[in-house]
Amino acid sequence: MSEHTNSPPAAAEIFGSDRMWGLKELPLPESVSWWPQTPGWFVLGAAILVALAWLGWRLYKRYQRNSYRREGLAQLNAISPDLAGLAVLPVLLRRSALRAARREEVAGLRGRDWIAWLNASAGRTLFHEDDGEALDQLSYAGSDKSSLDEATARRLIEASKNWMKVHRAAV
């Protein structure tokens, strides 16, 4: 009778050699820190934070400075399609111009000079030369728009909206 037993295989059969039995695993090195090790990175980080804070402050101040534009555009958009509130147009333009430039530069302008200043501050021609008279009529006629035809009134509203969006402040 031959003895055939189910004995566990020898270590040499599993690991390849009896020499491996006494080996221990090598210790792993400590993990590398992601925290910067040199002071230059702290200086760079502080400079970036200061730059971001400065940029945020500038954007906030520009937002505040342009509040008159948003208010003016909202009022221009509120003018009804039947042009009933058209008398507010010259007032909005003048108020916005006074916020965008020095009072001495804007307050005394009328007619063609006023239109020339509006076009110059927009950087392009938005208003026609005869629009100065139309704006003067609206200023002094009140809500009576009978002197203006509907096409001229709509063109003035569109030109005013465009001017509100694109003009550059001189101060």
Output the average pLDDT for the chain: 82
Q: What angle do CA 79, 81, 83 make, to 5 degrees?
A: 65
The per-residue pLDDT for 141 is 67
The per-residue pLDDT for 140 is 76
In the predicted model, is pLDDT for residue 154 greater than 80?
yes
- Of 20 and 55, the structure prediction assigns the larger pLDDT to 55
Instruction: Please give the C-alpha separations between residue 11 and each of 14, 24, 28, 70, in angstroms, as whole numbers.
Output: 5, 16, 26, 84
Q: Around 121, how many Cα atoms within 13 Å sit in the side-chain half-sphere?
A: 28
In the predicted model, is pLDDT for residue 82 greater than 80?
no
In the predicted model, is pLDDT for residue 159 greater than 60?
yes
Residue 167's pLDDT band, with cuts at 50, 70 and 90, is confident
The per-residue pLDDT for 146 is 56
The per-residue pLDDT for 49 is 98
Task: Give the pLDDT mean for 59-88.
Answer: 85
The pTM for the full model equals: 0.67
The per-residue pLDDT for 136 is 81
